[in-house]
Amino acid sequence: MFLLGLTGSIGMGKSTTAQLFVQEGCALWDADAAVHRLYSTGGAAVAPVRDLFPDAIEENAVSRARLKEIILADPTALKKIEVIVHPLVGQDRAAFIAEAAEDIIVLDIPLIYETGGEGKVDAVACVIIDADTQKERVMARGTMTLEQFEVIRSKQLPADEKAARADYVITTDTIENARRQVQEVVRDIREKQRHA
Ligand SMILES: CC(C)(COP(=O)(O)OP(=O)(O)OC[C@H]1O[C@@H](n2cnc3c(N)ncnc32)[C@H](O)[C@@H]1O)[C@@H](O)C(=O)NCCC(=O)NCCS
Ligand SMILES: Nc1ncnc2c1ncn2[C@@H]1O[C@H](COP(=O)(O)OP(=O)(O)OP(=O)(O)O)[C@@H](O)[C@H]1O
């Protein structure tokens, strides 16, 4: 079993590329999706977030809209939320890995370098696209203001630094190109595993 970390800056194409790995027969665990589960009604992050930021709770779930307002108003808020969320995300990931049967498990982890996660995987693939396209794509989603996008981006390691540290770099200019690169990565890993 091979653990491949998939990372990249906000809006550079992690989720889209992750689905291309699934189409090549890889299992996928998604850190952002784990956060969604943790924030939803009954999720393990709801009570600890409520203790710190009661205004972030709506109908017994963590409201991302409220959380974004809080993060924008309070520069220390995101760090406090991360202290709650990241250990819970780690537990979710460990449970997934223990269950998976595929030969390659892709772990979609936006903050793999920022959180020291690279030591827990066998290799890292990083998606990359130029900064103008990144901004256009994030703004086109309509889920964040430019200011919110800049806050998040400023907390992330620069994209070129991530790419320089990664074992594989996937350019997300078109889907077809990204798919070819994903197939190449999968072929390389399966080849190496055969010789291991
Ligand atoms: C800031 C929040 C409310 C924004 O929610 P929203 O639904 O608008 O965006 P989403 O969760 O899809 O995040 C978009 C992208 O922002 C980036 N991002 C999210 N959290 C962080 C963070 N703490 N530091 C840096 N980048 C981050 C990631 O690239 C992510 O893919 C939300 O991301 C959050 O609660 N983050 C804290 C938890 C966390 O650290 N998650 C990161 C994965 S473990
Ligand atoms: N290879 C590609 N070719 C063309 N468009 C792409 C490609 N990959 C991603 N995109 C587009 O870029 C946008 C962002 O992609 P995606 O949601 O996969 O990014 P992400 O890195 O997962 O984002 P986030 O960090 O915010 O979770 C989407 O609109 C998607 O359609």
User: 3-state SS of 94-146?
Assistant: HHHHHHCCCCEEEEECCCCCCCCHHHHCCEEEEEECCHHHHHHHHHHHCCCCH
Identify which of 172, 173, 175 to mutate to test ligand 2's pocket (most ligand atoms within 8 A of the CB).
172
**For residue 143, pLDDT beyond 90:** yes
Question: What's the mean pLDDT in 155-175?
Answer: 97
Fold of 1-26+104-196: Rossmann fold (3.40.50)
pLDDT at position 115 is 85
Identify which of 137, 162, 179 to mutate to test ligand 2's pocket (most ligand atoms within 8 A of the CB).
137
Q: Between 114 and 129, whose confidence is greater?
A: 129
pLDDT at position 151 is 93
CA–centroid distance, residue 13 to ligand 2 (Å)? 3
68 is in an annotated binding site: no
Q: Is the CB of 43 under 6 A from ligand 1?
A: no
Query: How do residues 6-29 score in pLDDT, each as one tens digit?
Result: 999 999 999 999 999 999 999 999
Whole-number Å distance between alpha carbons of 157 and 171: 17
Percentage with pLDDT > 90 across the chain: 94
pLDDT at position 49 is 98
What is the value of pTM for the model shown? 0.88
pLDDT at position 7 is 97
Average per-residue pLDDT for the chain: 96
pLDDT at position 113 is 94
What value does the CA radius of gyration of the chain take, rounded to a whole number of Å? Answer: 17
Write down the domain spans for the chain: 1-26+104-196, 35-101
**For residue 196, pLDDT beyond 90:** no
